[in-house]
Structures are given as C-alpha cells and as structure tokens.
Chains A and B, each alone.
Chain A
Amino acid sequence: MGFYNTSGTLVTVAVDSIAISGLNAYLIPETGLQTFQLPLNPQATEVLITFYMGTQMHTLALTYQVETQVVSKDCGALAYLNDLQLTTTTFAQVTISNPRLTTNGGINVKIRME
C-alpha cells in the first residue's frame, strides 16, 4: 500500500507504529513511510490495520479471499490472496487499485492523505 497526496503523488508519512490484527506485535518503521508491504495471515480472510501517527490514529479494515493452487512438484502448493476489498476506514479516501495481492505486484491500496 502507498500514501498519496491529493494530486496523486506518493508522499512520505510519519508513522510511529502499525498494529495488525492477528499479530501479537507492533511494526515500528525506522523512517517515514511512502509505501508499506502489508503482511497478511493466509488463515484469515479479514484484517484490521491501525496506524499510530503522533496524536492521530487511523484504521483500515480489509477483506480478502485465499485461493490454493498446486503449481508443480518443485514449486509446491501456494496460497494466493485475491479479491481484496475495503470494509471500513478512518482515512479520508482509500482506493483498491489491484485486488490481487502479490509480493511484487506494486501498489494494491492507495491511501490519500489530506
């Protein structure tokens, strides 16, 4: 996911920590964030992400589907996450730019910062 300004340009945002449902730890970025690779639990189909940004707190709830494919004996079976959808958010505007999640597929979620 990536943070954008109103003109659609990537911007750096100061995020103190990120909480992800199902994960018993906070992610603490070392520097400001422009993009962020969201870890998702393949045993779940929804996730709640909480961004702590100074005195502000924003949440983002997403749902997704998990699809298993047996690729080959050498690649094995893989779990693909797709059909990403926004449920709720406290950000001004969030758009799903690509509902199929991959580790190198670019930006899936665009968060517009005001």
Chain B
Amino acid sequence: MAASMLRSGWSSLLLLVTLAAYSQPADSLRGFRKPTGLRVGTDLIALGKTIARVPLTGWELNADIDLGRFYPVVELGSWKRKQPLVNGMYTNSGRYARIGMDINFLLKDPDKNMFFIGFRYGRASYSEQVSYTLTPDLFPVVQQTLSNAGARAGWAELTTGLRVKVWRGFWMGYTARMKFLPHTSGTSAFDSYDIPGYGLPFKGLYWGFNYQVFWRVPFERH
C-alpha cells in the first residue's frame, strides 16, 4: 500500500510539474526569477482550536518567497494533544517543520494572487504518553503508563490552495493537504497514535486544512 501511495504521489508531482511547464506562454513567470518579497503567516484554525481548548492545541507559522512562479515554503509548528480515552488518557507534545515548494498557476495576476499546487516533506520531534486501565480476565486490574520520550516522524504531503491579497501587505488564503507515507522512530513503548503536524498515522492517507493570514514584506520599495 505504501509503495502504491508513493507511486501515486510521484505521479501527481510529475503531473503538476508538467502542467506548470506547459500551461503558460514563454513570456510569463514560468522560470525562476529573483525574489521580490517574503510572506510570513500563521494558521487561524490552529489558533482557534487553542483558544477553544479542544483536545488539540498549537500554532503554525508559514513563510514563502517568490522565485517567479515557484514559491519555496517553510512551515514551523507546535502541537499538543490531550485526548481522553474510554479507559485512560493519551497526551503528546512536540514541534514539527515542513519544507517544500508551491507552484503558482495564476501567472498574469497583477497582485500575484495564487492558485497553487505543491509538495512538502515534514519532520516532527515529540514525546507522547498513554495511561490506561487494563481489566484482564481473572488477573487484577492494572493501571499502565507508557511513554515514547524521544519520538521522531517524517511524512510527505501534496498541497493545493489559494493566496489572495486583501490590503497592502495583508494576505489571506488556505492550504489543503493530502498527507501520506508517515514513518516513525523512537516509538518502542507503543506505536504512535498522533504525530504532530501529521495526525493519526494508522489511517494511511490523512487530510489537513489550514486557513491562513499573511503579511508580505517586499524586498524593494517601488
């Protein structure tokens, strides 16, 4: 299954690169160009969850830079889950980072609004703990606590979304993510239940969504 997901992921990537190469005339921003500004933003959904005190709390910062139609992206985040279970409690806490590239398909927009398709590679470093009650037949009830103190994980993503200039340097947008190929290490006590920046790894494909606000800092004043 992982191999077929990897194949479909690479196929999709190849398709979008091909689309990027042939969808615009030669005088457009098809190639790489000198960057004109840095855009820094954050995810409102993560902040909303944190304020609402849902089981998952955290923050995420996003930054990209324009190289013609190509936008190298760095994303950093913090993720903490406190999930009550029917027989105990699961908690995790950690940081994650993603790097990748977005490819803009709206090349003639004067404001550089974007509809993009892109890819990411993510890494997370985190700790997790589960405490639960076991009620085995005939043997006494047991309270069990297990920890993965130095867990690490990696994964890949295909992304798509919009970036729209609202006013001056203020931008808004969203990013939809298809996450796949999660892999973990340092999880000897139990298999990871929730990977910061990814989600539940045992579900195979996992979907994510960010609603973001940005501030763009131009490198040169016109």
Contacts and interface: CB of A to CB of B under 8 A. Distances in A.
B6 to A, nearest CB: 25
Interface in B118-154: 130, 132, 134, 136-139, 142, 144, 146
A42 B85 CA distance: 19
A39 interface: yes
A69 B194 CA distance: 12
Contacts of A74: 86
Nearest to B55: A73
Interface residues of A, number: 19
Interface residues of B, number: 21
Contacts of B198: none
A68 B189 contact: yes
A74 B189 CA distance: 21
Given A70-B190, A77-B90, A43 B132 contact: no
Contacts of A20: 138
A5 B213 CA distance: 73
Interface of B: 83-88, 90, 130, 132, 134, 136-139, 142, 144, 146, 189-191, 193
7 contacts: A22-B139, A23-B139, A39-B138, A39-B139, A68-B146, A73-B84, A76-B88
